[in-house]
Amino acid sequence: MAAKMATMVALVFGLALLLSAAAPAAAQNCGCQDGYCCSQWGYCGTTEAYCGQGCQSGPCWGSGGEAAAGMAGRKAGAGGVEVPESNNRSR
């Protein structure tokens, strides 16, 4: 029984270590096109979730909403992600 418990504890700690290493890796996904912000989690977009607190690069809002000017000609796409007008094609 002690061997099973030791195996379970080792598995839990190993999983915790793996998950803690995944967060910094996820933040390295940036390579956003012009006009897009890189969120604290490494994803591109133009909403507050991307350009607000934790924004890593791009037209981050900071304190005054600098990215708002870059929002012209954009519509919300699937999942609330802003996409350029040229990518919003009517079907």
- pLDDT of 80: 52
Number of residues in the chain: 91
pLDDT at 30 over 70: yes
Tell me which residue of 42, 38, 73, 32 sits closest to 52, measured CA to CA: 38
Global pTM value: 0.41
Q: Where are the domains of the chain?
A: 30-62
Structure tokens at 72: 């012209």
pLDDT at 67 over 60: no
Indicate the CATH number for domain 30-62: 3.30.60.10
